[in-house]
Chains A and B, each alone.
Chain A
Amino acid sequence: MPAYHQMGHNSTNLLFEPDLASFSGAILSPVNDDQAQVAAILQRVRANRADLEMVFDPQLYFPQSNRGQIRTWPHFPDDVDTADLSSPAWWTSVVAALAKVVGSVSPDAVCSPAVVPRVFSNNDFYMRMVEVGDELVDAVSAIPVLQTVIVGFDDLTTPARPYEIASIVSKSKSDRVFLVVSADVDPRRELSDVESLKGVMRLIHLLESGGQRVLVGFCSSDMALWKAAGATSCATGKFFNLRRFTRSRFEEPSGGGGQLPYWFEEGVFAYLRESDVVRVQRAGAFSGSTTRNPFTGPILTMISEPKPWVGQGWRHYMWWFADFEARATKDIVRSQLRSADNVWRDFEVNDVLMEERLNDGAWVRQWRRAVAEYQVP
């Protein structure tokens, strides 16, 4: 199923760009926009892109965070610093407030509220989040509720853990899951622990096999793995060529400037800096997807002039994401990763070295292992 646009800072215009029209929905962010702004976005979408499913994510992930517009929203409790966040009564009040917001904003679907716990190994956390999700299902009957499931990447290293989490999550009244993978990985670094990758993939596979459609949020190129595991949809935003779902994402200033431009190249399954784009092009390693990408030509021209191309880089990445998300079966992902692994091997042999020292394709082999092994008991 087509991809979702994870809305971020100043990203509304991307919803309406003809070359990014293959996204099938968007996840609204109350961190970046206040209630009036979200209402305006919805109005504009319904007038111009009525086919988009607009999903409201309440984004209570880090309630002590003071980021962006989140504290202006009625569903954001004003007692987060003193409240007992394990209290069912506290969550009931959050759900009631969120139901009112949903009634007022009128999205097409809503994610259940959830916080990021201190540790992910406690099953009570998942039980409570499912109870909260079920309360929201009862409170919001007019639109679908996506059960939010936040998993710790490092918590999924043991083979049994995804089964245990899936056994709890599958109790949910909702047939849709919004999966968020929380990982302590530096910006620009790929998730590469094989056992954890296999754990996330197993979890996705189990939920989908049980009839719960999984939308994985806050994805980067790791989307390929989640799709290989059977995820119905994945979501990304323009910043996810650099960032992950981390606490810092919710604590940093929200300005969009100061970034280096990056290019995602399917041929090596890697993000490339400007000089590396040229290097990979000279090596003849651009993929067919890159050739088809409508932003490839303009960026190459900008590089040659030279001109800044951060914004075009976002678009280039998002076009690739939606394109690959729509065609990524397990076989295609396996094949593409194998091909990228071979290219990196050739680069090594021929001294084609990336500007970033850690950009050596090492994760591609780990990803291949994850795809090959995640269903092996």
Chain B
Amino acid sequence: MTPGEQMTLTAVAQAFCSARGLSFSRAAGHGAFKATFRVLHSDGRILALKVYLPGAVTQRAVREIEALTELSKTAHPSLPSFLALVGHDHGGTRYVISAEEFLGGGSLGERLARDGLCDRQEVVDLAVQVASALAEVAGAGLVHRDIKPDNLVFRDDGTIVLVDFGLVRNLALHSLTQTWLAQGPGTPLYAAAEQLNNDKHLIDWRTDQFSLGVSLAFAAYGHHPYEHPGDNADVVVGRVAAREQPAPDFLGWTASVGLAPLVQMVQPWTASRYRRPADLIAAWAAV
């Protein structure tokens, strides 16, 4: 997104707030097709207002909104609350704006950069919360496909919330990813082999399980589970894509700290990971 587009979307958000009696606070981030703003509702709630670039409401965006709408019904503490979707005319152009709960605690990625690695109990708590959220996501027939520390955001009360469903896949609908693509969507460093190889027939909730496992490994161990000494990120991604086994150092570390579920979560084939969300939750609860 260009600076000019950011300015335009900021003006749209401010005008929208003015028209709806909301109090515009500040910009809170932007992606390729949308910008997020912190706004204050008259009832005291803090909202995340997402303004999409004109023409950016693609099929993927529609599916994201549909997914959020569906998941909001669960009222799960580790899933975002989706509040509204509206159209707004500004300067002769129609903009799509969504309103969600604003999460003010920063992301897990920011937390790690600021405070360093999580201790064992923190990781277990995070795993239990997000695994429970994944059960809801899987139950709705959805796969997030982009779980990473930057998409795990804290509420002010410390609850972790899985956000950014921009790459969500609804398994009941036809895939939007072309089969001929060498790689499916996702952030490569956190992606499972089936994403990296665009093995669409193998994508399911266990794909998210892998990414969560990698995220938790980064949070507690500081390295990717497939990282050998001296590897850079490209080499690590190549190891995952080639379906190698997790690195011996990682296996030794998990054994020494008693975090065995991480090993099963990051297995190269989905068949070797936890089969049901309940199995994953039970494994973490038993740690």
Known: A166-B271, A377-B245. A124 touches B276 (CB 8 A): no
Q: Does B270 contact A (CB under 8 A)?
A: yes
Residues of B within 8 Å of A168, CB to CB, are 201-202
User: Are A164 and B202 in contact, CB atoms less than 8 angstroms apart?
Assistant: yes
Q: Does B177 contact A (CB under 8 A)?
A: no
User: Are A209 and B202 in contact, CB atoms less than 8 angstroms apart?
Assistant: no
Cα distance A167–B279 in the bound complex, in angstroms:
16
Q: Does A170 contact B (CB under 8 A)?
A: yes
Q: Does B243 contact A (CB under 8 A)?
A: yes
Q: Does A140 contact B (CB under 8 A)?
A: no
Q: Does A206 contact B (CB under 8 A)?
A: yes
User: Are B279 and A211 in contact, CB atoms less than 8 angstroms apart?
Assistant: yes
Cα distance A167–B269 in the bound complex, in angstroms:
7
User: Are A210 and B201 in contact, CB atoms less than 8 angstroms apart?
Assistant: no
Q: Which residue in B204, B243, B272 is a CB contact (below 8 Å) of A160?
A: B243
Residues of B within 8 Å of A210, CB to CB, are 271-272, 275
Q: Which residue in B271, B275, B279 is a CB contact (below 8 Å) of A163?
A: B271
User: Are B201 and A170 in contact, CB atoms less than 8 angstroms apart?
Assistant: no
User: Are A211 and B202 in contact, CB atoms less than 8 angstroms apart?
Assistant: no
Residues of A within 8 Å of B202, CB to CB, are 164, 167-168
Q: Which residue in B204, B245, B269, B276 is a CB contact (below 8 Å) of A164?
A: B269
Quick one: which of B232-287 are within 8 Å of A by CB?
243, 245, 268-272, 275-276, 279
Residues of A within 8 Å of B204, CB to CB, are 171
Task: Give the distance to chain A from B14, nearest Cβ to Cβ, in Å.
Answer: 47
Cα distance A174–B275 in the bound complex, in angstroms:
12
User: Are B275 and A211 in contact, CB atoms less than 8 angstroms apart?
Assistant: yes
Q: Does A13 contact B (CB under 8 A)?
A: no
Task: Give the distance to chain A from B1, nearest Cβ to Cβ, in Å.
Answer: 37
Q: Does A82 contact B (CB under 8 A)?
A: no
Complex: chain A residue closest to B245, CB-CB: A377
Residues of A within 8 Å of B269, CB to CB, are 163-164, 166-167, 206
Residues of A within 8 Å of B270, CB to CB, are 167, 170
Q: Give the size category of B's interface with A.
A: 10 to 19
Residues of B within 8 Å of A124, CB to CB, are 201
Chain A window 136-162, contacts with chain B (Cβ cutoff 8 Å), 1 for yes, 0 for no:
000000000000000000000000100
Q: Does A96 contact B (CB under 8 A)?
A: no
Cα distance A126–B194 in the bound complex, in angstroms:
17
Q: Does A300 contact B (CB under 8 A)?
A: no
User: Are B275 and A170 in contact, CB atoms less than 8 angstroms apart?
Assistant: yes
Cα distance A207–B268 in the bound complex, in angstroms:
15
Cα distance A209–B275 in the bound complex, in angstroms:
9
Q: Which residue in B272, B276, B279 is a CB contact (below 8 Å) of A206?
A: B272
Cα distance A123–B179 in the bound complex, in angstroms:
13
Q: Does A127 contact B (CB under 8 A)?
A: yes
Residues of B within 8 Å of A169, CB to CB, are 271
Cα distance A206–B279 in the bound complex, in angstroms:
15
Chain B window 175-208, contacts with chain A (Cβ cutoff 8 Å), 1 for yes, 0 for no:
0000000000000000000100000011010000
Complex: chain B residue closest to A172, CB-CB: B275
Residues of A within 8 Å of B268, CB to CB, are 163
Task: Give the distance to chain B from A172, nearest Cβ to Cβ, in Å.
Answer: 10
Residues of A within 8 Å of B194, CB to CB, are 167
Chain A window 209-225, contacts with chain B (Cβ cutoff 8 Å), 1 for yes, 0 for no:
11110000000000000
Chain A window 353-368, contacts with chain B (Cβ cutoff 8 Å), 1 for yes, 0 for no:
0000000000000000
Cα distance A137–B112 in the bound complex, in angstroms:
45
Cα distance A127–B175 in the bound complex, in angstroms:
14
Complex: chain A residue closest to B275, CB-CB: A210
Cα distance A171–B203 in the bound complex, in angstroms:
10
User: Are B245 and A211 in contact, CB atoms less than 8 angstroms apart?
Assistant: no
Complex: chain B residue closest to A210, CB-CB: B275
User: Are A127 and B275 in contact, CB atoms less than 8 angstroms apart?
Assistant: no
Task: Give the distance to chain B from A136, nearest Cβ to Cβ, in Å.
Answer: 18
Task: Give the distance to chain B from A156, nearest Cβ to Cβ, in Å.
Answer: 14
Give the one of B194, B243, B272, B279 with max A CB within 10 A: B272
Give the one of A124, A163, A167, A169 with max B CB within 10 A: A167
Quick one: which of A208-244 are within 8 Å of B by CB?
209-212
Task: Give the distance to chain B from A291, nearest Cβ to Cβ, in Å.
Answer: 42
Cα distance A207–B275 in the bound complex, in angstroms:
10
Chain B window 192-234, contacts with chain A (Cβ cutoff 8 Å), 1 for yes, 0 for no:
0010000001101000000000000000000000000000000
Give the one of A123, A124, A170, A209 with max B CB within 10 A: A170
Complex: chain A residue closest to B274, CB-CB: A210
User: Are B272 and A209 in contact, CB atoms less than 8 angstroms apart?
Assistant: yes
Task: Give the distance to chain A from B198, nearest Cβ to Cβ, in Å.
Answer: 13
User: Are B275 and A206 in contact, CB atoms less than 8 angstroms apart?
Assistant: no
Complex: chain B residue closest to A126, CB-CB: B201
Task: Give the distance to chain A from B217, nearest Cβ to Cβ, in Å.
Answer: 21
Cα distance A211–B264 in the bound complex, in angstroms:
14
User: Are B272 and A123 in contact, CB atoms less than 8 angstroms apart?
Assistant: no
User: Are B271 and A211 in contact, CB atoms less than 8 angstroms apart?
Assistant: no
Task: Give the distance to chain B from A138, nearest Cβ to Cβ, in Å.
Answer: 13
Cα distance A85–B199 in the bound complex, in angstroms:
24
Cα distance A127–B200 in the bound complex, in angstroms:
11
Cα distance A164–B202 in the bound complex, in angstroms:
8
Task: Give the distance to chain A from B150, nearest Cβ to Cβ, in Å.
Answer: 28
Residues of B within 8 Å of A163, CB to CB, are 268-269, 271-272
Quick one: which of A159-217 are within 8 Å of B by CB?
160, 163-164, 166-171, 206-207, 209-212
Give the one of A127, A164, A207, A377 with max B CB within 10 A: A164
Of the A-B pairs whose beta carbons lie under 8 Å apart in the complex, a sample of 5, sorted by A's number, is A163-B272, A167-B202, A168-B201, A171-B204, A206-B272
* Beyond A168-B202, A206-B269, 5 additional pairs, beta carbon < 8 A: A164-B202, A167-B269, A169-B271, A171-B204, A206-B272
Binding site for B on A (CB under 8 A): 123-124, 127, 160, 163-164, 166-171, 206-207, 209-212, 377
> Closest 5 CB pairs between A and B?
A166-B271, A163-B269, A167-B271, A167-B270, A210-B275
